[in-house]
Amino acid sequence: MSIQFKSITELNKLLDSKAISASELTQESIQLAKKYSELNCFVTLNEENSSKRASDIDRNKKNTSLLSGIPLAQKDLFCTEGLKTTCSSKILSNFKPPYTATVVKKLEDAGSITIGKTNMDEFAMGSSNETSFFGSVHNPWKKGFVPGGSSGGSAAAVAAGIVPAATGTDTGGSIRQPAAHCGITGLKPTYGRISRWGMIAFASSLDQAGPLARSAEDCAILLNSMSGYDSKDTTSLNADVPNFLEDINQSIKGKKIGIIKEFNLSDLDTEVQKRFDESKKAFENLGAEFIEVSLPNISASVPTYYSIAPAECSSNLSRYDGVRFGHRAENTDDLNDLYIKSRSEGFGDEVKRRILIGTYALSAGYYDAYYKKAQQVRRLIKNDFDQVFKSIDLLMTPTSPNTAFKFESKGTQNPVELYLEDLFTISSNLAGLPAISIPHGQVNSLPVGLQLIGNFLREDQLLNAAHVFQQNSDFHNAKPNLENF
């Protein structure tokens, strides 16, 4: 029996009925990872430890969690004790953390099994997974095409059916955009919903962990385990965590969905536009009402984000200096030389570019014009959202302006071209709001994603709307043809 492409709920039933053991399931998952190694989803496979953990779980049947015995993949920026955690960077290519991230610990405490660490854009900086030190990841739907980024390895592993779900992080769209490009479901929760302890920082005030899975329901299962206040991350929210499965089936009749006036959808590819209009109709058929709303400052999202995120990154990445851990250059003259050589050798171009931009934005004389101004605009954008959520339940946009593109076709000459990929996703990071991407069809045999943005801490509404949509459509069940890999 193949477990490929099966959902968590399906796998859980098989485990419960003893049609399969956790050991067999883990074994199969690892075999699939090896079989599709050409996809380049994984930086590290956790073969030995995961089979040990699986047999422990088989022996000890007490765990009744839906995640018990389920193989998962973790984005390679979540620290895993004793297991390499590289951020897909040369500078951490041999880093074995002495501790485990809260997110991974919570998922493992629920009985899941980490089968490996997934490829990503270096330090999560990128939208195509091409900045990885370990090479590009192929989109399972089309060889030689990007899976999106930065959580590209996680998205491709789920899309290829290697694991039913994986973790990702989203700083400006890094869960939702690859989920869209790979035809799966990806959720970025409210900022603070999930602990950042052990999650290697890119931009602290924007980074948020979240699940990538085959359906909204599976995302809800992961979110149930991942959420909650953590005293080790004092920016995490001390808010009640509902059972996200509880109201997931509720009717969405009468729900008000906003369409953002400032996003001129007529500029989009006509096919992408067509998918969007069709999904709008589908939601109307399910009883939702659409309202055009205005977020006057939202068009400033991309420049705002590209001032704040690099600024924080330039400071967060200062600790990679070759002194205590990570890559250290050889034959250096003095301390300064050690810094310069270790960092020049250890970081890739995109990371260097963002460190430079961020250092500039924080410099004396420029701080007020860039970083401070960006924070003020960020506040305005957040206020716009607060205003519209007084009269609506959800917002709906495309996840990405385009479908997946060919390797090395975008951003190589002009990085800004690639930054515009994040147009629809960035504003919810700036405002700290939850957002989900669900597949809603294809254009030229490549998946297209639909984004729903929710109000503060209202992941339940997002999951509910997405689930009801998926109960009434088949887009999320589409499977790529993997015979070329």
Partner 1 sequence: MNWETVIGLETHVQLSTKTKLFSRASTTFGASPNTNVNLIDCGLPGVLPSVNKEAFYKAIRFGMAIGAHINQTSIFDRKNYFYADLPKGYQITQMDLPIVLGGSIKILTDDSTKIINITRAHLEEDAGKSIHDEFDGFSAIDLNRAGTPLLEIVSEPEISSAKEAVAYMKAMHQLVTYLDVSDGNMAQGSLRCDANVSIRKSGDSELGTRTEIKNINSFKFIEKAINFEIKRQIKVLESGEKVTQETRLYDSAKDETRPMRSKEFANDYRYFPEPDLLPVVISNEEMQKIKDEFPELPTEKEIRYQNEYGLSSYDAQIIASSKSMADFFESSLTGVKNYSLLANWLIGEISAYLNKELIEIHESKLSSENIAMLINRIDDQTISGKIGKSIFEEMCINGSSPDQIIESKGLKQITDDDSIEKVIDEVIENNSEQVQGFKSGKEKLFGFFVGQVMKKTQGKANPQTVNKILKEKLAK
Using CB under 8 A as the binding rule, whether residue 371 contacts partner 1 is answered as yes
Is 89 annotated in the active site? no
CB atoms within 10 A of CB 213: 27
Residue 472 Cα to chain centre, angstroms = 25
The strand pair at 185-188 and 446-454 is best described as: unpaired
Does residue 195 have a cis peptide bond before it, meaning omega lies within 30 degrees of 0?
no
Instruction: Rule CB under 8 A: choose which of 22, 39, 73, 92 binds partner 1.
Output: 92
Q: Is the dihedral of CA 126, 78, 213, 231 positive or negative?
A: negative
Task: Name which of 206, 41, 196 is nearest 120 in CA terms.
Answer: 41
Question: 464 in helix, strand or coil?
Answer: helix
Q: Stretches 42-50, 243-251, 268-276, 317-325: which one binds partner 1 (CB under 8 A)?
A: 317-325
Task: Name which of 25, 398, 354, 339 is nearest 176 in CA terms.
Answer: 398
Is 174 annotated in the active site? yes
Using CB under 8 A as the binding rule, whether residue 379 contacts partner 1 is answered as no
Using CB under 8 A as the binding rule, whether residue 357 contacts partner 1 is answered as no
- The distance of closest approach from Cβ of residue 380 to partner 1 in the complex, given in angstroms and rounded to an integer, is 18
CA angle 325, 329, 330 (to 5 degrees): 120
Question: 19 in helix, strand or coil?
Answer: coil
Q: Stretches 37-45, 233-241, 288-296, 386-394: which one binds partner 1 (CB under 8 A)?
A: 233-241
Rounded Cα gap, residues 394 and 193, in angstroms:
18
Closer to partner 1 by Cβ: residue 19 or 323: 323
Closer to partner 1 by Cβ: residue 63 or 204: 204
Instruction: Rule CB under 8 A: choose which of 312, 350, 393, 460 binds partner 1.
Output: 312
Query: Checking phi first, is residue 148 left (phi over 0); if not, alpha (psi -120 to 50) or beta?
Result: left
Using CB under 8 A as the binding rule, whether residue 344 contacts partner 1 is answered as no
Residues 203-222 that bind partner 1 (CB under 8 A): 203-205
88, 89, 150, 428: the catalytic one is: 150
Using CB under 8 A as the binding rule, whether residue 34 contacts partner 1 is answered as no
Instruction: Rule CB under 8 A: choose which of 31, 235, 387, 477 binds partner 1.
Output: 235
Instruction: Rule CB under 8 A: choose which of 362, 377, 436, 468 binds partner 1.
Output: 362
Q: Where are the beta strands (DSSP E) in 286-333?
A: 289-293
Instruction: Rule CB under 8 A: choose which of 7, 12, 85, 437 binds partner 1.
Output: 85
Note the residue count of the chain: 485
6, 75, 106, 255: the catalytic one is: 75
Rounded Cα gap, residues 114 and 372, in angstroms:
41
Using CB under 8 A as the binding rule, whether residue 348 contacts partner 1 is answered as no
Residues 449-468 that bind partner 1 (CB under 8 A): none
Instruction: Rule CB under 8 A: choose which of 200, 213, 272, 430 binds partner 1.
Output: 200
Is 75 annotated in the active site? yes
- The distance of closest approach from Cβ of residue 235 to partner 1 in the complex, given in angstroms and rounded to an integer, is 6
132, 151, 174, 225: the catalytic one is: 174
Contact of 134 with 84, CB cutoff 8 Å: no
Question: 105 in helix, strand or coil?
Answer: helix
**Which residue type sits at 337?**
D
Residues 53-82 that bind partner 1 (CB under 8 A): 77-79
Q: Residues binding partner 1: what is the number (CB under 8 A)?
A: 44
- The distance of closest approach from Cβ of residue 245 to partner 1 in the complex, given in angstroms and rounded to an integer, is 29
Using CB under 8 A as the binding rule, whether residue 194 contacts partner 1 is answered as no
| Eight-state DSSP code of residue 371 | I
Task: Name which of 76, 125, 454 is nearest 305 in CA terms.
Answer: 125
Using CB under 8 A as the binding rule, whether residue 199 contacts partner 1 is answered as yes
DSSP labels, 276-297 = HHHHHHHHHHTT-EEEEE--TT
Rounded Cα gap, residues 200 and 307, in angstroms:
20
Using CB under 8 A as the binding rule, whether residue 339 contacts partner 1 is answered as yes
Binding site residues, partner 1, CB under 8 A: 77-79, 85, 87, 92, 95, 97-99, 101, 196-201, 203-205, 231-235, 311-312, 314-315, 318-321, 323-325, 335, 339, 359, 362-364, 367, 371
Active site residues: 75, 150, 174
